[in-house]
Chain A
């Protein structure tokens, strides 16, 4: 069985762009709604007696009476309400909960109350960028070191980082659409998911590269493209099996793991899928493009040089 993945590399790049570019456009149009973790504010999650949960409009009116304009009220299962508002002191929260009890004639149980002040939000955002940059640098350094016996070890590091950025962009693109159409917010869990995806993305890429490292020692006279393709095909079983297992786990977590982590798990799902794709269809082909210096032909209206048959 001969599978030639490298031959169609530009189609795979195109497919990646088909997801990323709409995401970027969506981001420019709609932006990403940041949760209170980054912007400051309060989330109050309350449970009412069965069937006694008020309409969101009634809650908005109640909040407005306390000087909190335009809170966002979301209804959830089991007579619960999730209310997001500006940063709120403890005493006001208690007053509001008491008022709910009397006004809606039901006992009100507070399941969750989060408040984030304005100063901390800005810092979290800033540090998150630093964290991603540091992770990328650390991984780049490690790969360059681990592949030091191969020609152009640095390229492997760069290709892995490009695949990683690809996965970040895919995850953000999907999040842009989920945010716009389903109202999902970017919170610290999203950030955790994103950072985990980075780890997995590189994990997957390295497994393919590792095979490439081994093969390029053995097949010194075979064209580079052939060796790359051979390495991808050899690791294909493993890539599919592992990705499938992890996705299965995530699927189960999404179904049974509870509402709190559902968004987190779904974002991970998207990211792991993207990570598997990019390790096979983006990272290794990039090495070939680099080896052939194909960018010299990109803008001359010519097709890339025909690839050697493996």
Chain B
């Protein structure tokens, strides 16, 4: 009989942790343990924002690597333009999903995404420019860029603070990324550090020849979207259109620079396959409504349980509270992005959690009617109900897995959120039904003589 106290201790411990996590401002210890501020992640439908699904323009094929590169570039570009909290991810085999919480203007977002990015080599003279410095250059921003787009019109004004322009000096652009033909990362036997080898187009080669001959020993900064990426020194004149960039690169950092050089313009042109804009007031309204509905649903279930099952119903209500606390803590910790259908899935899983309790109580009643002792009836009722609980929940989990897969294919975060919350709900409900309800029943009832209080059990 010691086991039940161990279980009880475990439950109390879990509940305390869960409640601490659930607090609007969780204790510092939890935040530092998770390495971030533990807050509920709200989906776009609840906080408002723009979601855009991009695909390669018609006629272009893209490998998964292309898409990964593109999504990284888009992310960097959005950062440079002062967008915050954006998320890019590659979906399935041909989509990139971008989410921009809090944005209300689809046009602005799309224009950020569709410009191909401007790569420039600028004459830095004898000043070394730190990577990340925002510069002003004299290149005409049209030219090879798509005409509909106004690249980086707001770049200098919305630049991130650490990259504020040092001075309003206008740098001369020697050439743009359009003149780069090939870029490779290589290493030689004499130098252990990898370096980047590039070749130029004919026109690029002639410009480069003139410039490098006159500026040996000076700096040539590589700039993407007006932000310095790297500032190598010109060591020799480059006359044949083939050059290398040396430095203390690791394999990773060399590859990173090569990616910028190669794909400063996106590896594939992208177009919008789907976009969604949710106004912030609509989101807030939905959030308030679903919270109200959740609370009301909980009260209704608790009343139903108390009226129908009496004393065990009280235990079920406590178990449900624990269930809600633990689930919400898990949602915050993972974090699961809560969307409107996600919350519906969660509220629905409360219903499933009730089912586990109902199964146990109905069995308990049957065993009591059959004349069993109370603690025997609890054990038997629980054991017999367990198979039903297990099998029925496994089938729900199978559906959840398939829904999740389906949702992942299309960036349908609605479907994904729903299946994830429902699946987590089912798992936690199995835990509360098996551990919490059972321990509580034993703890509270082992000392009661059932024969004295049949009404407590609705018999």
Residues of A within 8 A of B (CB): 45, 47, 89-91, 93-94, 109-117, 119-120, 123-124, 127-128, 131, 134-135, 138-139, 142-143, 146, 188-189, 191-192, 195-196, 198-200, 202-204, 206-207, 210-211, 213-214, 234-235, 237-238, 241-242, 244-246, 248-250, 252-253, 255-258, 260-261, 264-265, 268
Contacts and interface: CB of A to CB of B under 8 A. Distances in A.
A117 B341 contact: no
Contacts of B104: 110
B359 A207 contact: yes
Contact of A245 (B355, B387, B418): B355
A142 to B, nearest CB: 6
Contact of B281 (A111, A115, A249): A111
B449 interface: no
A246 B355 CA distance: 9
Nearest to A195: B403
A246 B405 contact: no
A258 B402 contact: no
Given A200-B396, A248-B297, A91 B289 contact: no
Contact of B402 (A109, A131, A237, A261): A131
A135 B392 contact: no
B277 A252 contact: no
Closest 5 CB pairs of A and B: A199-B399, A258-B289, A246-B351, A111-B279, A113-B277
23 contacts: A45-B282, A90-B106, A91-B107, A112-B278, A113-B275, A117-B272, A119-B55, A120-B274, A123-B409, A124-B412, A138-B398, A142-B394, A192-B415, A196-B348, A199-B395, A210-B392, A214-B384, A241-B362, A244-B304, A245-B354, A248-B301, A249-B297, A261-B344
Contacts of A214: 384, 387
Contacts of A250: 348
Contacts of A134: 402
A252 B293 contact: yes
A188 B412 contact: yes
A120 B271 CA distance: 12
A195 B399 contact: yes
B392 A207 contact: yes
A196 B397 CA distance: 10
A206 B385 CA distance: 12
A211 B301 contact: no
A43 to B, nearest CB: 9
Contacts of A90: 106-107, 110, 272, 275
A273 to B, nearest CB: 13
B358 A191 contact: no
B289 A192 contact: no
A112 B396 contact: no
A49 to B, nearest CB: 14
A258 B340 contact: yes
A255 B402 CA distance: 29
B344 A265 contact: yes
B354 A207 contact: no
B391 A93 contact: no
A268 B282 CA distance: 23
B354 A116 contact: no
B275 A245 contact: no
A195 B402 contact: yes
Nearest to A44: B277
Given A90-B110, A204-B392, A116 B273 contact: yes
B350 interface: yes
B296 to A, nearest CB: 5
Given A128-B406, A211-B388, A116 B274 contact: yes
A120 B355 contact: no
Contacts of B348: 196, 246, 249-250, 268
Nearest to B290: A257
Given A112-B279, A246-B351, A131 B398 contact: no
